[in-house]
Amino acid sequence: MRIFVTGGAGYIGSHTCVELLNNNYEIVVIDNFSNSKRDVIDKIKEITKKDFVFYEGDVTDKALLSKIFKENKIDAVIHFAGFKAVGESVSKPLMYYHNNLESTINLLEVMNEFDVKKIAFSSSATVYGKPDSLPIKEDFKLSTTNPYGTTKLMIEMILNDLYKSDNEWSIAILRYFNPIGAHESGLIGENPNDIPNNLMPYIMKVAVGELDHLNIFGNDYDTHDGTGVRDYIHVVDLAKGHIKAIEKVLKSTGCDTYNLGTGTGYSVLDIVKAFESVNNVKIPYEIVGRRPGDIDACYADPTKSLKLLGFKATKNLEDMCKDSYNFVRRSKHE
């Protein structure tokens, strides 16, 4: 089976490419490196000792997509490509709507044209907005608070409409919770060039001395220690979730939505303490005001993905902290 992976040089995409190759899928990858580095492609090959076809290009380029589908017999698609920075989406909404929506619509049109009607799409727990209760189930009401989240929700609607119009489609909408960690080789991981927005990349930069301390956004939330609680999932577990999703997509039709999380919530302080103790390193921090738009707590009910996909995350917080630190130290020395 040959899977077309968009955004395959990115954080989650690269780990998923490794899992696909390890599971004997052939892959065809596209990325425009707008948020990733060229050498990731070689690192995927180094980890798996396997080769694959790579196109440097933009998923908004429909002619290129047609060329790729002409040159390769594709069985299914995993669509990661998109912009993902919440703050940037607020200041540059058109850039987000253009990139995330146009790429997806072009991709779906070309898939339709080539009669490839099987896709797994990267959505996000952000579409749950501020949930009324926890844990979060897939049928909870949906809302968004920023353009990034709105692009995800709009694409989910497009995919649902597409299936309604043509029941030959097979679609898995995957709502990720908070992926952290890195491949255990330390060769691939998440390493933003700018000052990171997300918690773990920020902690990683503090750990290696690139930033002097972590700002913890609020300690007056309704959680066990007052700091925000999230469902952190190891990126390798998340990548394995895509294998389960693509297996399901390949053998059935339908449009289904799945949470990919662990079901366990950890606070910011839980993460800081675990990172310090697992890696024997100090993470100085300061409690500052809340970050606008943040919610108290968010964690998945992972029952549906266990039942229907057979997916269960197996890595623990210790693995996530160890692998994150290993990756950042290794990339610093390269």
Known catalytic residue at 266: no
- Residue of 96, 148, 163, 325 marked catalytic: 148
Q: Which of residues 101 and 283 has its CB atom nearest to ligand NAD in the complex?
A: 101
Q: Is 137 near ligand UDP (CB under 6 A)?
A: no
| Selection from 45, 28, 37, 50 nearest residue 9 by Cα | 37
| 234 contacts 313 by C-beta, under 8 angstroms | yes
Q: Could you tell me the smallest distance in angstroms from the CB atom of residue 282 to ligand NAD?
A: 26
Q: Is 234 near ligand UDP (CB under 6 A)?
A: no
Q: Could you tell me the smallest distance in angstroms from the CB atom of residue 228 to ligand UDP?
A: 2
Q: How far is 179 from 13, CA to CA, in rounded Å?
A: 12
| Selection from 108, 87, 146, 85 nearest residue 6 by Cα | 108
Q: Is 260 near ligand UDP (CB under 6 A)?
A: no
Q: Is 199 near ligand UDP (CB under 6 A)?
A: yes
CA atoms within 13 A on the CB side of 127: 24
Q: Is 35 near ligand UDP (CB under 6 A)?
A: no
Interface with ligand NAD (CB under 6 A)? 7, 9-13, 30-36, 58-60, 80-82, 84, 99, 103, 122, 124, 176, 178-179
* Polymer length of the chain: 334
Considering only 7, 10, 186, 228, the residue that binds ligand UDP (CB under 6 A) is 228
Task: Work out what residue 268 binds among ligand NAD, ligand UDP, none; the CB cut-off runs from 5 to 8 Å by kind.
Answer: ligand UDP
Sorted by sequence, the CB contacts under 8 Å of residue 147 that are 6+ apart come out as 89, 90, 93, 96, 97
Q: How far is 180 from 23, CA to CA, in rounded Å?
A: 22
Q: Which residues bind ligand UDP (CB under 6 A)?
A: 178, 197-199, 202, 214-217, 228, 230, 268, 291, 294
